[in-house]
Amino acid sequence: MARFPYTSHVHNDALTASAHAICLEALTYTYPGRPAEALLDVSACIRQGERVALLGPNGAGKSTLLKLVAGLLPSPTPGAVRVFETPVDTCHPHTAYLAQRAEVDLRFPVSVRDVVMMGRYSGVGWFARPARADHAAVDEALRRVDLLPLAGRAIGDLSGGQQQRAFLARALAQQARLLLLDEPLAGLDVRSQQSVLALLRGLQQEGMTIVVSTHDLASVLAGDVAERVILLNRRIIADAAPDEALRAERLREAYA
Amino acid sequence: MLDALLSPLALGFFRQALVGGLLVAVVCGTLGVFVVLRGMEYIGDAIAHSVLPGVVVAYLLQGSLFLGGLVSALITAAVINALSRDGRLRDSTAIGVVFTGALALGVLVLSATRSYARDLASLLFGNTLGISIQDMWLIAALTVVIVVAVWLFFKELVATAFDPTHARKLGLPVNAVRGGLMFALALTIVAGAQAVGVLMVTALLITPAATASTLTHRLPRMVALSIGTAVFSVVIGLYGSYYLNVVPGAAVVLVAALCFLAAYLGTHLRRGRASNAV
């Protein structure tokens, strides 16, 4: 059992032993005040330890889907989005969501270590300072992503790939079991993309469930991003292994 | 030299101005860091100017100017928050509309009364050399409360400002933290405006924090530098105004602006030299 002071959420670790990390049941989502649905009748289940790519054109609903799973948007019906077999009403403490990099102010005066420590805050709670165990977890996460030597640098001084790895370290420090990444490869050079993807493969081998949204067809086709691809354009066009999901007629349907 | 520093202190009004100014410097220097980091500079400016209608109405009704100003500042903060919350209107647009409207309302009511020009000037530029004892206690209490609150909630203030989405995932009350900051900002501006004027409060909220942000990338150091610059500006500004016989509020603001200019040019020259060397 783990306690999360900010939400007074008591989390039962037995739940994370469930088979499925994510279950979507006939999920339809419309933003308030918009005429068209952002997501239409989306059903899919993702088992624990799977690595899944969410592929689709701009405006296909990739970010919307990730935000619904992250609990950042309200679920339209209770139970339409289930994370570790529980309805995602509150933010699940073992889910980590990495927003697109443009959404964070990277000129902010915090060090890499400070950023990773923020992953521990949910366990630290009001009026308390991080304990020795928190510092140890931060060191361990930084070592895992090869950023320990750069721990004291300002986050803005790092390259795009290093920043992405710092945010992954924050998710590790948070002890996340489910990683939701919104366009983590966007704006990175090929070498940085490869280092991030290699890190994700390593994390999957340790049992992490990973969902990555991307519009980078080439790396998805190469099988670098995931073993399973969900091709999305408001509804699910295909849900299969990369070579099966990315057949020409399916892509035409998704990108038409 | 020592005599030049000590002789003004023999004067009661100068001592009061110095103590009041230093208190405002400490609270503004602290809060200002978060105002600048969140890009809330214009919200501070808007609240500062929207104090006017409340103060004028309170003045006409012979009520408490502080309460009048506070009510109109809080209404302004709430309206800006509500207009820009769901993203249909940009922050800057909401602020522009609300604050010019509130300022115009204040001027309109004020122009219907007799002592228009003099009162407006003292509100805008403050009456640093005539801070009342009540104002002083109010600012002292406020400074203590806000500095302690920032110290207690430092972690949460930083996390919600840096990455609000992640903070929400941690279960942090992101909107409550932002609301609390707005409330603290409104209290500071209203109390400070009475003592040292709208101009000096807004300047001390933004300029020292901006100066500190050019000098360091460490947040605790930034808060310390921001307070330090604000205190320095108040001391130099007040002594300068005493010996040169100029308006104290404007002198303080000018010293703060010169500090910023020096820090900005200093870091850019150094960085330029460093990149030339490479």
Residues of A in contact with B218 (CB under 8 A): 109, 111
Q: Which two tokens stand for residue B203?
A: 């300047």
Inter-chain CB proximity B172 and A6 less than 8 Å: yes
Average pLDDT, integer, range A160-164: 93
Residues of B in contact with A71 (CB under 8 A): 169
Q: Which of B33, B162, B177 to mutate to test the interface with A (most CBs of A within 10 A)?
A: B162
Mark residue A173 as left, alpha or beta (left: phi above 0; alpha: psi -120 to 50; beta: remaining): alpha
Please state the φ and ψ torsions of residue A20, each to the nearest 5 degrees. Answer: -100, 135
> Within 10 Å of residue A1's Cβ, how many Cβ atoms?
7
Kindly tell me if the per-residue pLDDT of B125 is higher than 80. no
**Would you state the pLDDT for residue B53?**
85
Cα–Cα nearest to A170, from A141, A197, A198: A141
Burial-class residue A169 by CB neighbours within 10 Å (0-12, 13-18, 19+). buried
Most confident of A77-81, B147-151, B269-273: B147-151
The CA distance from B187 to B70, in Å, is 7
Kindly tell me if the per-residue pLDDT of A70 is higher than 50. yes
The sheet carrying A39-47 orders its strands as A39-47, A20-29, A81-83, A86-87
**Would you state the pLDDT for residue A8?**
60
Closest partner residue to A70 among B169, B172, B213, by Cβ?
B169
The CA distance from B116 to B188, in Å, is 25
B100 or B255: which carries more pLDDT confidence? B255
* DSSP codes joined into one string, A197-223: HHHHHHHHHTT-EEEEEE--HHHHHTT
CATH numbers and ranges of domains, chain B: 14-268 (1.10.3470.10)
Q: Alpha-carbon Rg of chain B, whole angstroms?
A: 19
Note the pLDDT tens digit of each residue in A12-62: 555 556 788 999 999 999 998 888 899 999 999 999 999 999 999 888 999
The CA distance from B66 to B90, in Å, is 30
**Would you state the pLDDT for residue B128?**
57
H-type alpha helices, chain A: 62-70, 112-117, 121-124, 132-144, 160-173, 190-205, 217-221, 242-245, 248-255
Q: For residue B156, which amino acid is it?
A: E
**E strand or H helix at B171:** none
Structure-token match 């002198």, residue found: B251
- Average model confidence (pLDDT) for chain B? 86
The answer to whether residues A62 and A182 touch, using CB atoms and an 8 Å cutoff, is: yes
Interface of B with A in 40-99 (CB under 8 A): none
Q: Does A126 touch chain B (CB under 8 A)?
A: yes
Inter-chain CB proximity A111 and B217 less than 8 Å: yes
Our CA-based measurement puts residue B34 at a distance from the nearest CA of chain A, in whole angstroms, of 11
Residues of A in contact with B222 (CB under 8 A): 109
**Would you state the pLDDT for residue A1?**
42
Cα–Cα nearest to A58, from A214, A186, A188: A214
Note the pLDDT tens digit of each residue in B44-97: 888 888 888 888 888 778 777 788 888 998 898 888 878 876 666 777 888 888
Q: Which two tokens stand for residue A253?
A: 């349907």
**Would you state the pLDDT for residue A64?**
95
Note the pLDDT tens digit of each residue in B143-154: 999 999 999 999
Q: Which two tokens stand for residue A118?
A: 């923020």
Our CA-based measurement puts residue B160 at a distance from the nearest CA of chain A, in whole angstroms, of 10
Q: How far is CA B271 from the centre of its chain?
A: 30
How do strand A20-29 and strand A81-83 relate by DSSP bridges? antiparallel
Inter-chain CB proximity B37 and A108 less than 8 Å: yes
Inter-chain CB proximity A110 and B158 less than 8 Å: yes
**Would you state the pLDDT for residue B194?**
77
